[in-house]
Amino acid sequence: MISSATFHVISTELVVGAFSVSGLCFTLCLLVHFGLLKRTEWMDLFDNVAHFALVFGLAATPFAVLSGVSSSPGDGLSSPLLVNKMFLSMSGAGFAIGASLSRWRLGRRLWNSATATRIHCATGLAACGSMLLTASAGGTFARGESLLDVFRLPYEQVLLFPFAISVIGLILGITMVAMGLKRLNRASSIH
């Protein structure tokens, strides 16, 4: 058996590595889209790698979150940094789920629309950015320093909504996901 702290290190390395590769490929997709990278034949490669890495990182995320909670010192969320880590990782997972489901249901046609392409790449990059911020907060918590400390991010400040607002947000979010998926499924069934 390994300790939850060691398991957390393993799972976070998988998550951060996968999301970083995904973010890099989304950036390259964006460069191809804007014509800054002329090799349009590489678009399929970037597309596949970005989404495979995104889904892989997404699969490892729950293990990282759960092991992080169990390995944190004291009882549960004993620091604002840990709360912000939780918010950032779940936001990153939300972006990743949105990007993955959109790509899965819409297929390659997603790249046909310029606006959809830009939004999709931005979503993938947001997922990557959220996970890197989470890792940075973890570094600040464990070692007292992180590469992103130069930005003086307010990790000690927690934006915690009233419980009722969170519940409403949760219900609204689930409804939006269900309706969005229904709309995507309906489009494919008519076809």
Partner 1 sequence: MLLLCSSFGSAEPGGNGDSIRDMQCGGACHGDASLNGTSTALMSLSSSEKIYAGIPTTITLSVSNIQSSETGLIGLFLLTDTTGHSDTPQDAGWEILSDSNGGSMNYIERTIPSGMNETSVSWVVRSSNMGTTLFYGSIHHGGESTPFFGINPEGLAVDVEAVPENLPRLSSDYIPPTVRTLGAETELNIQTQFTESVQIEWQVPGGTLVSVPVNSTGTDMWTATLPAALQPTTVQWRAVLQGEGPTQTTPWFTLASEEPGWEVEEFAVYTQSFALLFLIAGAVIALQSRLNTSFPENKYEQSQIVLPEQPVDEDGQIISASNSDESIAPLPEGGLPEGWNEDQWRWYGHEYLAGKYGGGE
* Site residues (vs partner 1, CB under 8 A): 74, 76-80, 83, 86-87, 90-91, 93-95, 97-99, 101-102, 105-110, 112-113, 115-116, 119-120, 123, 143-145, 158, 160-161, 163, 166-167, 169-170, 172-177, 179-181, 183-184, 187-188, 190-191
Q: Which amino acid would we find at residue 14?
A: L
Q: What is the DSSP letter of 122?
A: H
57 CB-near residues (< 8 Å, 6+ apart): 14, 15, 16, 17, 18, 19, 22, 96, 131
Minimum separation from the CB atom of position 49 to partner 1 (A): 20
Q: Are 105 and 191 in contact (CB under 8 A)?
A: no
Q: Which is nearer to partner 1, 43 or 97 (CB)?
A: 97
Q: Which CB, 39 or 188, lies closer to partner 1?
A: 188
Compare residues 11 and 124 and give the one whose CB is closer to partner 1: 124
Would you say 123 and 95 are in contact if contact means Cβ atoms under 8 Å apart?
A: yes
- Nearest distance from C-beta of residue 38 to partner 1, angstroms: 26
Nearer of residues 39 and 151 to partner 1, judged by Cβ: 151
Give min distance, CB of 7 to partner 1, in A: 18
For partner 1, give the closer residue by CB, 38 or 164.
164
CB of 159 to partner 1, least distance (A): 9
And the tokens for 105? 């249901």
Local structure of residue 140 (DSSP, 8 states): H
Distances (CA, A) of 20 to 27, 72, 129, 173: 11, 24, 8, 26
